[in-house]
């Protein structure tokens, strides 16, 4: 594993074009597995000596740590991909990790803001100063497009040039997509751009911090949380809450599921379908509260 792991990560980075965060997750998962092998007598970790029982005991140890099913599934996926690479590289004759079973996923529906809460949220920034104009544009952009945090912080001014009510987003897997932008959001961005031109001209990133440098994801997380705290009691107050709100409200108002999938940049339609479940659950609650014979 000492020799093969760096090659595997390089393969994921160059040939599969995986993001930095995904690479870190794979590396962390596989180094944990390597440590497990060494602590149980396989030192240095030799893949040719790994048995099916070793893998089963490792997965059992993950359950003993009370990790979430999502985390365990990711670690199993890392193992299966690594063993597949080892087989293709001629290190192993078979991928014994294929027999590992993913835990049944937990059905946790995404939380979201109500439309009234969104309206309140957008009225919070102080538009008499540049920070408020920037914050207003950030909040509107998250809700209008459903883009991810890193997609927003990576935006440059040119993403809006030459496009009518749309932006070009550089998303997961180094894939570009065009996302429509609402009129209210475009107005907020244009107001911000007017102010931004007065502040900085040495780079083309859309959003800046107090040091006139490109704003980073942690800074955006903090400012979004500051505003969300004033409108909702939802425990996890992050930019992703606005992404969930965007998707939920789109589905509620009749948007095609495949279109929402493309807006969000999802690879699979099944990932987007969770928002359909959210809407159905809401309809059931309305029915239970409103129909006179709902509980008879």
Can 156 be counted among the known catalytic residues?
no
Q: Are residues 119 and 235 in the same domain?
A: yes
Q: Are residues 138 and 229 in the same domain?
A: yes
Q: Are residues 223 and 120 in the same domain?
A: yes
Q: Are residues 121 and 172 in the same domain?
A: yes
Q: Are residues 57 and 161 in the same domain?
A: no
Q: Which of 156, 172, 177, 225 is catalytic?
A: 172
Boundary residue ending a domain (47, 74, 99): 99
The verdict on residue 231 lying in a domain is: yes
Q: Are residues 129 and 214 in the same domain?
A: yes
The verdict on residue 289 lying in a domain is: no
Can 275 be counted among the known catalytic residues?
yes
Q: Which of 74, 75, 134, 148 is catalytic?
A: 148
Can 148 be counted among the known catalytic residues?
yes
Can 243 be counted among the known catalytic residues?
yes
* Per-residue model confidence (pLDDT) at position 161: 64
Q: Which of 84, 120, 177, 266 is catalytic?
A: 266
Please classify residue 296 by burial: count the beta carbons closer than 10 Å to its beta carbon, then call 0-12 exposed, 13-18 middle and 19+ buried: exposed
pLDDT per residue rounded down to tens, the chain (296 residues): 888 999 999 999 999 989 888 999 999 999 999 999 999 888 888 888 999 999 999 999 999 998 888 899 999 999 999 999 999 999 999 999 998 988 887 667 789 999 999 999 999 999 999 999 999 999 999 999 999 999 999 999 998 865 678 898 887 766 788 899 999 999 999 999 999 999 998 889 999 999 999 999 999 999 999 999 999 999 999 999 999 999 999 998 888 989 999 999 888 888 888 888 777 776 677 667 766 766 65
* Per-residue model confidence (pLDDT) at position 163: 64
Q: Are residues 61 and 132 in the same domain?
A: no
Can 266 be counted among the known catalytic residues?
yes
Task: Give whole-number Cα distances, 214 to 105, 221, 223, 234, in Å.
Answer: 38, 14, 15, 29
Give CA–CA dist 238/225, Å, rounded: 6
Structure-derived torsion over alpha carbons of residues 132, 231, 240, 105, reported in degrees to the nearest 10? 170
Can 244 be counted among the known catalytic residues?
no
The verdict on residue 262 lying in a domain is: no
Number of domains in the chain: 2
Q: Are residues 85 and 145 in the same domain?
A: no
Q: Which of 243, 244, 249, 261 is catalytic?
A: 243
pTM comes to 0.65
Closest CA to 192 of 243, 222, 155, 149: 155
Token digits of residue 16: 């599969």
Boundary residue ending a domain (54, 75, 99): 99
Boundary residue ending a domain (213, 240, 267): 240
The verdict on residue 257 lying in a domain is: no
Q: Are residues 33 and 131 in the same domain?
A: no
Per the structure, the complete domain to which residue 68 belongs is given by 4-99
The verdict on residue 276 lying in a domain is: no
Structure-derived torsion over alpha carbons of residues 235, 210, 245, 67, reported in degrees to the nearest 10? -40
- CATH number of the structural domain spanning residue 43: 1.10.150.130
The verdict on residue 233 lying in a domain is: yes
Q: Are residues 88 and 130 in the same domain?
A: no
Q: Are residues 54 and 156 in the same domain?
A: no
- CATH number of the structural domain spanning residue 124: 1.10.443.10
Closest CA to 250 of 227, 242, 207: 242
Q: Are residues 163 and 231 in the same domain?
A: yes
């Amino acid at each position: 594993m000492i020799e093969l792991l760096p090659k595997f990560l390089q393969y994921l980075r160059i040939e599969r074009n995986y993001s930095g965060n995904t690479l870190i997750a794979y590396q962390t998962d596989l180094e944990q597995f390597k440590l497990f092998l060494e602590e149980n007598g396989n030192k240095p970790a030799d893949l040719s000596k790994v048995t099916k029982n070793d893998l089963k005991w490792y997965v059992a140890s993950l359950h003993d740590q009370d990790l979430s099913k999502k985390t365990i599934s990711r670690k199993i996926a890392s193992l299966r991909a690594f063993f597949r690479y080892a087989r293709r590289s001629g290190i192993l004759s078979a991928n014994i990790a294929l027999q590992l079973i993913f835990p049944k996923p937990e059905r946790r529906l995404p939380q979201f803001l109500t439309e009234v809460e969104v309206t309140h949220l957008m009225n919070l920034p102080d538009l008499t100063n540049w920070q408020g104009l920037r914050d207003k544009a950030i909040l509107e952009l998250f809700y209008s497009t459903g883009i991810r945090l890193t997609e927003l912080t990576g935006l440059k001014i040119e993403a809006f040039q030459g496009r009518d009510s749309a932006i070009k987003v550089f998303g997961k897997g180094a894939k570009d997509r065009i996302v429509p932008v609402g009129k209210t959001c475009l107005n907020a961005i244009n107001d911000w751009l007017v102010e931004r031109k007065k502040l900085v001209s040495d780079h083309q990133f859309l959003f800046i911090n107090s040091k006139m440098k490109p704003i980073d994801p942690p800074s955006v997380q903090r400012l979004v949380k500051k505003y969300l705290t004033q409108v909702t009691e939802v425990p996890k107050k992050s930019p992703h809450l606005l992404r969930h709100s965007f998707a939920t409200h789109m589905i509620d108002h009749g948007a095609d599921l495949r279109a929402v999938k493309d807006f969000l940049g999802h690879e699979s339609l099944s990932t987007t379908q969770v928002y359909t479940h959210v809407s159905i659950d809401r309809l059931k609650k309305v029915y239970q509260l409103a129909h006179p014979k709902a509980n008879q």
